[in-house]
Amino acid sequence: MSDLFAPAGPGGRTLLGRQAQVLLGFALPRADCLLAGIAQVIARAPLRQLTTPGGHVMQVAMTNCGLLGWTSDRRGYRYADRDPGSGRPWPAFPEGFLTLATDAAAEAGFPGYRPDACLINRYAPGTRLSLHVDRDEDDPVAPIVSVSLGLPATFLWGGLARSDRTVRVPLAHGDVVVWGGADRMRFHGVLPVPPGTHPQAGAFRYNLTFRKVR
Ligand code: MD6
Ligand code: FE
């Protein structure tokens, strides 16, 4: 893809498109705080493997925090203001979540970002996320801020059509991907997470994706 630039060093960025970039190590100074927040959310809204409308059980375990949470079952994908597992509202953003999201968005050229949802994904080794577009949000151009924590993984970054070629983007603990605008509807996925253990996160990769849904 002609708009993929060579990765920079830590503190640098990888441009994935006109309005998409990886901020290398951006969340590193805040990683312990973010992992503590994830543990708090999981204690109140347990991770679970959701069923797709087609009846498949997703490999990635998910939960949410914020006003709205992404969920899936046989009836479809949607955002809900309550955890379907407990009937209770999703936990609020833990300390440090909102500032990380707004700071990263601003750094990537999206000032004034106000996300109302944060999906928490947990990948065990071998777990993958197939190629998809996030299109359940009302706002089709507001950025998504995606924070990688724990085990490294390879992100697949495609185009606006499923058949477009993909590039492989390595994502490590503390990397933040931001994309919006013209790049917001591009296909993407995660290759199977290689085995390993991470000093702060154990045998898992965690991903936070902040979204502006409404
Ligand atoms: C992940 N992320 O990195 C999966 N979607 O674990 C996503 O599917 C994703 O990182 C939209 C925007 C950013 C993302
Ligand atoms: Fe996605």
- Ligand 1 proximity of 62 Cβ (cutoff 6 Å): no
Is 2-211 assigned to CATH 2.60.120.590?
yes
CA 53 to CA 126: how far, in whole Å?
23
The arithmetic mean of pLDDT across residues 121-128, rounded, is 98
pLDDT for the residue 10: 60
CA distances (Å), 17 to each of 119, 160, 180, in order? Answer: 23, 12, 10
Split at pLDDT 50, 70, 90, the class of 11 is: confident
The residue to which tokens 């994502």 are assigned: 171
HSE-up of residue 18 (Cα within 13 Å, Cβ side) = 5
Split at pLDDT 50, 70, 90, the class of 12 is: very high
pLDDT reading at 74 higher than 60: yes
- Ligand 1 proximity of 21 Cβ (cutoff 6 Å): no
pLDDT reading at 198 higher than 60: yes
Ligand 1 center to 7 CA (angstroms)? 19
pLDDT, tens only, 162-182 = 999 999 999 999 999 999 999
- Ligand 1 proximity of 209 Cβ (cutoff 6 Å): yes
For residues 121 and 50, is the Cβ–Cβ distance under 8 A?
no
Ligand 2 center to 197 CA (angstroms)? 24
Split at pLDDT 50, 70, 90, the class of 8 is: low
Ligand 1 center to 209 CA (angstroms)? 6
Token digits of residue 17: 């498109």
The arithmetic mean of pLDDT across residues 37-41, rounded, is 98
CA distances (Å), 52 to each of 18, 75, 76, 168, 193, in order? Answer: 32, 8, 7, 25, 21
Across the chain, mean pLDDT equals 95
pLDDT for the residue 9: 53
